[in-house]
Amino acid sequence: AQSVTQLGSHVSVSEGALVLLRCNYSSSVPPYLFWYVQYPNQGLQLLLKYTSAATLVKGINGFEAEFKKSETSFHLTKPSAHMRDAAEYFCAVRYGGATNKLIFGTGTLLAVQP
Amino acid sequence: DVKVTQSSRYLVKRTGEKVFLECVQDMDHENMFWYRQDPGLGLRLIYFSYDVKMKEKGDIPEGYSVSREKKERFSLILESASTNQTSMYLCASSSLTSRENNEQFFGPGTRLTVL
């Protein structure tokens, strides 16, 4: 069965510092992987997605993620954090089949300190 | 832009009431989903639908039912609300076309409180 693990339910960084949010997946087949962001009192918004075209994926707001098959990881990074990046981030993996179901991690709440 | 709308942002109901949460999408998507979101648990799938009148149970369907009479609308029903159903409910939709690579588009959520 596919699953997603996000290490660290809370991450705090200083403004301008590197952001690293970790995601590991388990999948018996090459997955589709997603990172979503949720700002306070809003729904989820897609940051980026891996669909096997390229291992380094660039997303919105300066975020990127690298797919590493050997490590079964898809960590999210941003070189320099901004205050507006404070939000909750979810990693997700897609089931196989035609229904496009996703399995979500438990989320990482990112705090950015001034 | 894809738009997924949910009928209420905040809802307060009493134990035992029948509750309807409505979701509408405007992109002619085949798939629609209902999740609940709780702190520390992430998003958990309640039900999904891959076509009109078609539905399948997700991971936590107990206490819920759904209805999809039209392609653009997917309703979540709590037959008899209980306090443990107090949560944030998120609706999502997705297309089967490969161009969108199966991305799910989310509504703003409904925060339901059951007293």
The arithmetic mean of pLDDT across residues A49-66, rounded, is 89
DSSP assignments along A47-81, one per residue: EEEE-SS-SEEE-GGG-EEEEETTTTEEEEEESS-
Query: Which amino acid type is present at position B80?
Result: S
d(CA A69, CA B68): 38
| Bridge partners for A56 per DSSP | A66
Q: Which of B49, B106, B111 to mutate to test the interface with A (most CBs of A within 10 A)?
A: B106
Could you give the CA distance from residue A79 to residue A25 in angstroms, rounded to a whole number?
Answer: 23
Q: Is residue A52 pLDDT above 80, yes or no? A: no
Number of CB atoms found within 10 A of residue B101's CB: 17
Q: How many residues does chain A have?
A: 114
Are B20 and B6 spatial neighbours (Cβ–Cβ below 8 Å)?
A: no
Region A11-21: mean pLDDT is 97
Q: Compute how many other C-beta atoms are within 10 angstroms of the C-beta atom of residue A30.
A: 12
Q: Decide: A87 and A19 in contact? Cβ < 8 Å.
A: no
Cα–Cα dist A81/B80, whole Å: 45
| Total residues found in chain B within this entry | 115
Give the C-alpha separation, B87 to A35, whole Å.
22
pLDDT score, position A86 = 96
Q: How many CB pairs under 8 A join A and B?
A: 55
Contacts of B9 in chain A (CB under 8 A): 41
Mean pLDDT within A70-81: 94
Contact A106 B42 (CB under 8 A): yes
Q: B65 with B86: CB under 8 angstroms? A: no
More confident residue, A29 or B58: B58
Residues linked to residue A77 through DSSP beta bridges, in sequence order: A20, A64
Show residues of chain A in contact with B61, CB under 8 Å: none
Mean pLDDT, 10 residues at a time, chain B of 115 residues: 88 97 94 93 93 92 96 97 97 78 87 96
For B54-83, letters b (16+ CB in 10 Å) and e give ebeebeeeeebebbbeeebebbbebeebee
Give the pLDDT of residue B100.
Answer: 60
Residues on chain A touching B60 (C-beta within 8 angstroms): none
CA distance B95 to B100: 7
* Interface residue B103 vs chain A (CB under 8 A): yes
